[in-house]
């Protein structure tokens, strides 16, 4: 479960993880902290690793050699492409929505 305080959810765990990893390789706990700071959303451990497994299976992220029991993950080329595509779509949606709000507001 991804938890946030807003009534309208806008992000899924896979997108949050890819966005977090765009800033550089991170392990699970660092991804949770980063997502909390950047998006105000707390990813639970089960949600996080479920999404990590799915992203790794699709080749969007890869695991790096671990330190102790923690393993950092990094974006792959396909992960970067998917993230860029998704963020562009979100930017278009955001700009259209904001433009509509501006014209609708008195």
Partner 1 sequence: MRRFARRVLRWYPPSFRARYGDELDALVDSLSGSARTTADLLWGAVRAWLRPAFPGADGTRRRLLASVSTTWIAWCAGFLVAPAANKALLDPPGAGTGMTVRILLYCGLGLFAVGWLLALAAAILLLVRAVLPVSRSRAWFALKPLLPAVVLGVIEAALMLALLLMSQSNALTRNPTIASIVLTAWLVGLAAFLGCLGIGAAVSLQRLEIKASTLQIPALLAVPLALILATMSACDIAAVILAGDAALFGSIVPVIVVLAVAGTASMVALTSSARGIPAIRHA
Which one, 36 or 87, has the nearer CB to partner 1? 36
Which one, 36 or 80, has the nearer CB to partner 1? 36
3-state secondary structure 52-101: HHHHHHCCCEEECCCECCECCEEECHHHHHHHHHHHHHHHHHHHHHHHHH
* Binding piece for partner 1, criterion CB under 8 A, among 16-24, 26-34, 74-82, 86-94: 26-34
| 82 sits near partner 1 (criterion: CB under 8 A) | no
When computed from its CA atoms, the radius of gyration of the chain, rounded to whole angstroms, is: 16
| 7 sits near partner 1 (criterion: CB under 8 A) | no
Taking the CB of residue 33, how many other CB atoms lie within 10 A of it?
14
Smallest distance, Å, CB 1 to partner 1? 5
Which one, 1 or 9, has the nearer CB to partner 1? 1
């Amino acid at each position: 479960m991804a938890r946030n305080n807003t009534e309208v959810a806008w992000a899924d765990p896979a997108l949050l993880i890819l966005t977090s990893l765009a800033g550089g390789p991170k392990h699970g706990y660092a991804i949770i902290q980063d997502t909390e700071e950047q998006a105000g959303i707390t990813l639970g451990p089960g949600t996080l690793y479920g999404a990590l497994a799915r992203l790794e299976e699709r080749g969007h992220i890869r695991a790096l050699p671990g330190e102790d029991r923690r393993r950092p993950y990094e974006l792959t080329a396909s992960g970067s492409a998917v993230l860029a595509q998704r963020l562009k779509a979100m930017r278009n949606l955001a700009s259209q929505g904001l433009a509509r709000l501006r014209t609708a507001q008195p």
